[in-house]
Chains A and B, each alone.
Chain A
């Protein structure tokens, strides 16, 4: 006879983590009150990277799909924004979910092709797809062709009554989007899909023989990631007010940095991208004047982390102390068990 049990997710550390997270959110939501224009821009950029890195982490660390071509969707999101505002006359903020929808649709045939490649070849294949998007974008003269285009002033001013309000609006949307992405990821991981993903992450063959539909799970994750990435891309370029094929589909900005953030923070753990983004921006604020030397160091640090601490900073902390900031563990609590965590 099986004893009654339920599955618990929270631990003491995750309760503390959630509390800290909630307070931080309140503080950040109030940023327009205490921060200047530059602060808001910086924070919005950080939110974008936390979200992008979390999505990449989901794809690579959980579904085992290492993509070096996510810039395809960042750029796609940006171009959908510009196309829907300039060509279709829609409100910029409406373009954000539209970008997600377009990306989800596009991701299907892309996945159909890319899933024919395995492992490392899959990775390079995703890069090729991004290149195809980039080259195609430069062929669209209505959106500036190879040199790109700026968002017309009329569209910009129509967003909100004042510039200040417009910037607050974009900032809050960025914050909401980041929280939404994180929440979606946590909910996904807590669901049965998430269980399947963790199984796939640990041992794909074993997962398959236990009845997990690996291909479908991976497809779902790929499409969801594309959707999220494109929405973030739309918002990024709404903030930048200008787009060009090279900036939209930049490997450095949207893949290299994202990968570094995730590796340094900790792959395969939801907390990793958050830690990684903070570290990354700290480094950037202090070292960016060094130009290519800075990138060089970043590459060296990523290699060092990969070889010596492959689980990243959060991985080290979590292993050492058993903490988790977000309630993702699965523990069985039996009715007869009087212990508390």
Chain B
């Protein structure tokens, strides 16, 4: 029974990892950019949620309604003002600029908020749990977060495959120059994609803020989890990233159960194993 609980925990946190991954995969798909600052932006969202709850006194989960639009706006401006200028044939500029951005965000947060660990209080929901079966308990908060993650991914799928908006993203991803011939302004499309990615990050950030202690330095680890979930799941598939996140979460949970110091290592090893045996990922989307 203990193991069932462990696996369930792993699955549920996998949803969070999948959200990290979805944001990352989205912008890579549309503009071939990997944002090294991705994890730090998640942490930024957590701090914005902190400021929101401090000033407005609302429940952190409600703060998502404010943090998401704010992060989306930040994403749009960031892309148009800075990142659009790095896009091109050479992969060094976007990588180095986003790396520099990562350092800037971490240290700016350090200056503003100090290295103290913070955590947001979501109230009774944090400790509530209910029995799924005899001896098997599910925390309400982790379950909620998992459901939200699935909903976000489903929404992204819907957006990409059933709306004109998503069509524009996919066309730009296929062929940037011909997309312009359709009247699509690349700079605007890329900025919208980044805004969307940051909106997803915002949701993830708020959940992190509630679930764990956070401080300015935890960003890079989140980037790595998102990245590992993308690779395990396979590029080009949103549901794949969900599967990837779940596998990563379960690996970590099992590792932690064997030895608390092995939690992260177990996840990394699962990632390396998949990379060695099936580098295209478990559910890669085959392009037509």
Contacts and interface: CB of A to CB of B under 8 A. Distances in A.
Given A128-B228, A263-B96, A66 B103 contact: no
Contacts of B107: 292-293, 295-296, 299
Contacts of B265: 132, 135-136, 139
B101 A299 contact: yes
Contacts of B36: 68, 123-124
A127 B104 contact: no
A187 B279 CA distance: 36
Given A298-B103, A299-B100, A306-B93, A132 B275 contact: no
B271 interface: yes
Given A131-B264, A132-B272, A295-B107, A307 B85 contact: yes
| Range of interface residues on A (Cβ < 8 Å) | 35 or more
B96 A116 contact: no
B92 A251 contact: no
Contacts of A251: 220
A124 B104 contact: no
A146 B261 CA distance: 10
A136 B271 CA distance: 15
Interface in A67-123: 68, 112-113, 116-117, 119-121, 123
Given A121-B34, A128-B227, A295-B107, A307 B86 contact: yes
Contact of B272 (A68, A113, A256): A113
B177 to A, nearest CB: 19
A125 interface: yes
A55 interface: no
Of the listed residues B91, B223, B228, B262, the one surrounded by the most CB atoms of chain A closer than 10 A to its CB is B91
A125 B96 contact: no
Contacts of B85: 307
Nearest to A145: B261
Contacts, number: 118
B224 A131 contact: yes
A120 B95 contact: yes
B96 A259 contact: yes
Contacts of A123: 34, 36, 95
Contacts of A307: 82, 85-86, 93, 97
Of the listed residues A120, A125, A128, A131, the one surrounded by the most CB atoms of chain B closer than 10 A to its CB is A120
Contacts of B275: 113, 116-117, 125
B174 to A, nearest CB: 18
A146 B33 CA distance: 35
Contact of B100 (A112, A132, A300): A300
Contacts of A127: 220, 224
A197 to B, nearest CB: 16
B104 A300 contact: yes
A303 B100 contact: yes
Interface in A266-304: 267, 292-293, 295-296, 298-300, 302-303
Contacts of B102: 299
Contacts of B99: 68, 256, 259, 302
Of the listed residues B101, B107, B264, B265, the one surrounded by the most CB atoms of chain A closer than 10 A to its CB is B107
A116 B274 CA distance: 11
A204 to B, nearest CB: 11
A132 B269 contact: yes
Given A132-B268, A135-B268, A113 B276 contact: yes
Contacts of A146: 261
Given A66-B92, A296-B111, A120 B104 contact: no
Given A302-B100, A303-B101, A121 B86 contact: no
Contact of B103 (A116, A138, A139, A295): A295
A326 interface: no
Contacts of B159: none
A296 B94 CA distance: 18
B51 interface: no
A135 B264 contact: yes
Nearest to A60: B92
B4 interface: no
B34 A292 contact: no
B227 A296 contact: no
A184 to B, nearest CB: 23
Contact of B96 (A136, A295, A300, A306): A306
A256 B279 contact: no
Interface in B243-288: 261-262, 264-265, 268-269, 271-272, 275-276, 279
20 contacts: A117-B279, A121-B34, A123-B34, A131-B268, A132-B268, A132-B269, A135-B261, A135-B264, A135-B265, A136-B265, A292-B106, A296-B104, A296-B107, A298-B103, A302-B99, A303-B101, A303-B104, A306-B86, A306-B93, A307-B97
Interface of A: 60, 66, 68, 112-113, 116-117, 119-121, 123-125, 127-129, 131-132, 135-136, 138-139, 146, 251, 256, 259, 263, 267, 292-293, 295-296, 298-300, 302-303, 306-307, 310
Q: 3 closest A-B pairs (Cβ-Cβ)?
A: A120-B34, A299-B103, A292-B107
